[in-house]
A and B are shown apart, each in its own frame.
Chain A
């Protein structure tokens, strides 16, 4: 089945630790995105990538980093510089061209303990 797989589903981080969230897609999509969702809030864009080895900051990139070494994969690292990392993280992908739908993975819920 084609789709987007995020792992893990739940993640707990201690203060000062970096953690990496995985996102893999087999839809042959060029573009991939990371969004953050806080309770009662919409989705806010962290980073996006249109092609391999290229990515751009979104609206709330501070404290996060990404890589795009393969078309299928777009991992997100939440660094210790991110002051309030507890949130629901959503990865999405789409074809590039601007007018096509984005599809989401099942999300990773990150909690700082």
Chain B
């Protein structure tokens, strides 16, 4: 079974701080990694994709990938209350995305 692990949280950060979300995966052959944001009662929305080791930045979001450690992270700078949601880590398993259970993020004003 190919596993994707995330801390369930909730992770609470004050407005304006950096939120750091982490994910580990078991399939060493995985090549594609994604972060989705899911608001309560809504469907997941893709916010970042990363395929190579290192950092990828898009606005306030930075994805980090370390394939040797089988570790993916998402940093959210200048966190806003609107960032409060569940963040799902997804790893491509060869035929479909395999998801973690998600980390709940709460940004407090």
Contact = CB atoms under 8 A, between A and B. Distances in A.
B102 A42 contact: yes
A42 B101 contact: yes
Interface of B: 4, 8, 31-32, 34, 42-46, 49, 51, 88, 90, 92, 94-102
A98 B43 contact: no
A57 to B, nearest CB: 11
Contacts of B97: 33, 43, 45, 92, 102
Interface of A: 33, 35, 40-45, 48, 50, 56, 58, 90, 92, 98-107
B42 A101 contact: no
Nearest 8 A/B pairs, CB to CB? A42-B101, A42-B99, A43-B99, A104-B43, A99-B32, A107-B43, A48-B96, A101-B46
Contacts of B42: 106-107
18 contacts: A40-B8, A42-B88, A42-B102, A43-B88, A43-B99, A45-B96, A45-B98, A50-B95, A58-B96, A99-B31, A99-B51, A99-B92, A101-B46, A102-B90, A102-B96, A102-B97, A104-B44, A107-B42
Most A CB atoms within 10 A — which of B88, B92, B100? B92
B31 A98 contact: yes
Nearest to A56: B95
Contacts of B49: 101
B95 A48 contact: yes
Nearest to B33: A99
Max chain B C-beta neighbours (<10 A), residue from A58, A99, A106: A99
B46 A42 contact: no
B10 to A, nearest CB: 12
A64 B52 CA distance: 36
A25 to B, nearest CB: 13
Given A42-B100, A99-B32, A106 B43 contact: yes
A101 B98 CA distance: 12
